[in-house]
Chains A and B, each alone.
Chain A
Amino acid sequence: MTAEATSESNGRPGLKGKIDKTIIASVLLHVLVFGWMMLSFSTKAYVMPDEDVVAVDVVSADQLSKAMAGTKTGDKKNPKPLVEKVAEAKPPVEDAVGKITEKPPVVTDTTPPPQPKPIEKPVEKKPDPPKPVAEAKPKEEPKPVEKKPETPDPIAEAIKKEEKKPPKPVTEAAKPPPQPPKPKAERTFDQTKIAALLDKRDPSRAPVTGDTINSNAALGTAKGSAADNSATWGAMFRQQVERCWKKPYGGIESQNPEAAFSIRLKRDGTLEAMPVPDGTPATPYLKVYQESALRAIIECQPYNLPAAYFEEWKFFAPVFTERRG
């Protein structure tokens, strides 16, 4: 790389000299940038995912983590009130809906209830008990599409039922609704007709169903795993198992050993079964290394880990290693 400034009038050789400098500088910059990227990404690979900040709701840890996991196809917007699960073809519900749809539907947003009574009556039967209609999930503020003083009972029952049920994954019911009752538009509230508007059917005890899935699903984090608390209980496990681990003497040469296991723990922190080693060791030292780690896992039980995160630490993979990330 020559430092002399050759003028452009020299033609090709001069240009070449200038090009060399610039290209070299460009390459250097690229190398610097990529080198930094390689380093920063390689360390990132070993960093625990950031714990997302979560609004405080009274929910179970499972429900929360599943919500945070998200789906890749999730929409960012929620244009209309949606439910957790699409209505399934259930005979009682269908019958109920069928009964109603036998009569000509008269519902519109703005029309007042039709005057002729005989027509009203079938219409009254139709009223949308909040069940087949879109209703917010119990964990959110219950927002029934219509407010009916008498219907809270079925609603409450449905809510209770919903809470007792194991929460279904959000993506599960991504099926087109078989027989959704269309009307969920608001109805004008006629106080005089409260009695007539009472839902005379039995509570259907069906899960809250509706038109489309409530895709509160967000895109989630890039790593695609649920935000979890492994930083906490992982550190506790590590500290406890290291008390028992008599790491074998590897000599003065660095051998970069690694021994991974799958373990299942019970709630009291004891092993449910023998830890399963991952892979067969290739050298006598690696075999001894793996055996010493196995001994440590077995000897140091029961592990004192936070009960709140049991679902996370009941099945995980401790990796005993010398390898530095």
Chain B
Amino acid sequence: MSLRGHHRTESTHEEGISFLVVRLGETYLALPADGVRGVLTPAEAGIGDSIKAVGIIYRYLNLADMLTLSAGFETTDTRVILYSNGRSHAAVRVEQVFGLSEVESAQCVPLPAQFRADERTWFSGMILHEEGLALIVNPTWLLGEVAEVVSMAAGGVLR
């Protein structure tokens, strides 16, 4: 259940936003941390199409398929993220968890306007991560509540 690290970039008075940075294939994803309810090893997650934890059932979502990414979940780094917004709950397999990263809201940038299709719903923005970037997963879409999506363009990152 432990996370590998907790990175904070530049401490200021501005409110920070925490993300759990994970990897699927070659893609780094940033899950808003306030929805993370747990990080399990495959052994802890067990077998089945859902996980029950603290009385809540988290059904598996295949995020790799949803994003058309090729991912392998047979490594020792594979983890299962329990994610919830209090109403909807999901379990998501990822290839690797990098830990929590806290950034200022100004460091969350929107997807460039040249991206014009479904990816604008999938991702509410992006943050710099190590030498690359991590795409901020829109939790509303992830949890199947896409009708409630508020565009990044309307202001701020979805949380």
Physical interaction between A and B: no
Q: Which residues of A contact B (CB under 8 A)?
A: none
